[in-house]
Amino acid sequence: MRNRKRMKKHGAALSKVILLLIWVWSLVFSTPPSPAMAMNSNLQGYLPVSGAWSGDAAGGLKGVSDANANAFNMATVTAGTYFVFEADVKVESATPYAAGSLVFRSSADGSKGYVLSLDPNLDRLRLFDYATDTTIGVPYQTTIDPGSFYRLKITADGPKIQVDLNDAPAISVNDFTYSQGSIGFHVYNGTAYFQNMHVYEVPMNVSGWTALSGSWTPTSQGWQATAGSGQNAYAVSSASSDDFTYEADLLVKDTYAVGTLLFRSDASAEQGYAVQVDPNMDRLRLFKLNGDSTIATYNVTIDPGKVYHIRVKAEGPRIRVYFQSSFVDPTNGYDPVMTVNDTSFSSGHVGLNVYNGTVLFQNIIISDLSSNLDGWTALNGTWTPRLDGIKAVSGNGADAYRISSGTASDFILEADLKVDSGTPYGTAGLLFRGNSTGTAGYVVNIDPNLDQVRLFNANGGATMASAPRLIDPGKVYHLEVVANGSSIKVYVDGRSAPDISVTDTAYTNGRTGLNAYNGTAYFQNVYVTDLKDYSNEMYRPQYHYTQEFGKASDPERAGVLQRRVSPVPSG
């Protein structure tokens, strides 16, 4: 029968001890396969979590699950913002009611993450969230024969997920639930085979890419772009900002090819700035895209086939370009090689360009929010990366939210907040124990107009508590929320006593997010720590020093905020 109900849940997650024992056993499996276990794959290391897994000379990786049960085999590879994951998948003809799946952006045991399932029983290709068994997008219906291999290809670009079946588009969705995680394989209710498994990830935090021209291909060495003789290849991201750092590793493969970083560009790469790496001319060139107008040059030996790191820091009219040619010397690339002031373009997209050959790009990074939260969804307003974290602009008298996908119950939430000096009637706030739309939960904000810190219910906006506090627009304030059962305490800038302390039972669990109201706000260093993990020393001290996240590695970030030295919360 084709209408049977399937169970997609497996039992409780294996304990760490059991996982460790399985990992030790799996070392035998993760060694280079023998001829009898030959597989075409660039994945190294496998961790069988459940079911039976082996190498098959004809079929590749073979997975077997019990009836109505799940089998997971997780690779030691993880993938994040931009990658391609492809494999040939076959359900054994002797088990036509089975399904074979690719797992990605998953937890290490497969219990949370995306699953792309090839299902011959239901003649469909289905993408779903394993943790909730929620279908993502529309399943692709087509005839799928047990005993035949099908080529599955997943291309992930931030929240955009594109699935191809046998090189033809099948599913295309945008989903923010998971932003990074492990790669793996899954079998349900029978036997399936996996062959020609490859993952090509380009490390980056920039997403929403549009290839305007040329050939752009993820490879094991990076994102490879090729332009024909005398031609250009352009790719522009949806990431847009005004003040930021933008950087990438770059390798020019051809002597007469040129690799370029675009910034403050328009969506068509016709206007904006660009930094060009030219091995033929042995120079870096900063120029304007419109008119190809040179702003500054820096002469330096550039060898084809060698990796260089380019970094641009744009802050108002001031543009600084850094060039790193050695990854051994810690001082190499520390000082800018070009510094100019130009007011032609104040904001825009970041992108990449190749001229007259092939160039590889890796580690494409734009300055962004430092946080241990992910799966962000923006609701209303505009949210853009900046030098000082993330910038939110909300309309007049309107709320803008950016909400993460994870939930928390009892925790400590920390963040640095600032209201723009140009919008003194705006506020900056944090949502906690909220829902996915910002219509439920608690919000604490700083309000320079009223000079107060305020805690209120997101459902209706009723004030629960407030405290007088001088709030200057343009100044950064550090907020710390301690949520422990019905107790909620809010500290500002390291005060030993809470500015706000209330007892409330309206919300016990929910999502964490950012909130801007009636203006422009900035957020940085947003971290949530489970209360039970906040201080777990064997001999717990009387005072707990809050970690200063992300400050030590960047010598340009001066003025480290003082953190509160507070008694460890009980419970």
Q: Is residue 30 within a helix (H) or strand (E), and if so which, with residue range? A: helix 16-30
CB contact at 8 A, 135 and 122? no
Q: Is residue 433 within a helix (H) or strand (E), and if so which, with residue range? A: strand 427-434
- Looking only at the bridges linking them, the beta strands covering 273-278 and 283-288 are antiparallel
- Residue 467: half-sphere exposure toward Cβ, Cα within 13 Å: 17
CB contact at 8 A, 389 and 368? yes
- Looking only at the bridges linking them, the beta strands covering 140-141 and 150-157 are unpaired
Mind spelling out the 3-state secondary structure of 509-537? CEEEEEEEECCEEEEEEEEEEEHHHCCCC
Tokens 């169970």 — which residue? Answer: 7
N residues, the chain? 571
CA distances from 443 to 244, 353, 459 (A): 28, 43, 10
CB contact at 8 A, 74 and 181? no
CA distances from 194 to 88, 138, 484 (A): 6, 24, 47
Buried b (16+ CB within 10 A) or exposed e, 239-253: bbbbbbbbbbbbbbb
CB contact at 8 A, 186 and 115? yes
Q: Is residue 23 within a helix (H) or strand (E), and if so which, with residue range? A: helix 16-30
State the Cα angle at 304 between 301 and 306, rounded to 5°.
85
DSSP bridge partners of 304: none
In degrees and rounded to multiples of 5, residue 36 shows phi and psi of -75, -15
Q: Is residue 215 within a helix (H) or strand (E), and if so which, with residue range? A: strand 215-219
CB contact at 8 A, 222 and 241? no
Looking at 66, 133, 282, 554, which residue is catalytic?
554
Q: Is residue 416 within a helix (H) or strand (E), and if so which, with residue range? A: strand 411-419
Instruction: State whether residue 105 is helix, strand or coil.
Output: strand
CB contact at 8 A, 486 and 507? no
CB contact at 8 A, 431 and 414? no
Q: Of 523, 239, 270, 276, which Cα lies nearest the Cα of 364? A: 239
Beta-strand (E) ranges in 293-410? 293-299, 307-315, 318-324, 338-341, 348-355, 358-366, 377-379, 382-386, 389-393, 399-408
Is 472 one of the annotated active-site residues of the chain? no
Which of the residues are catalytic?
554
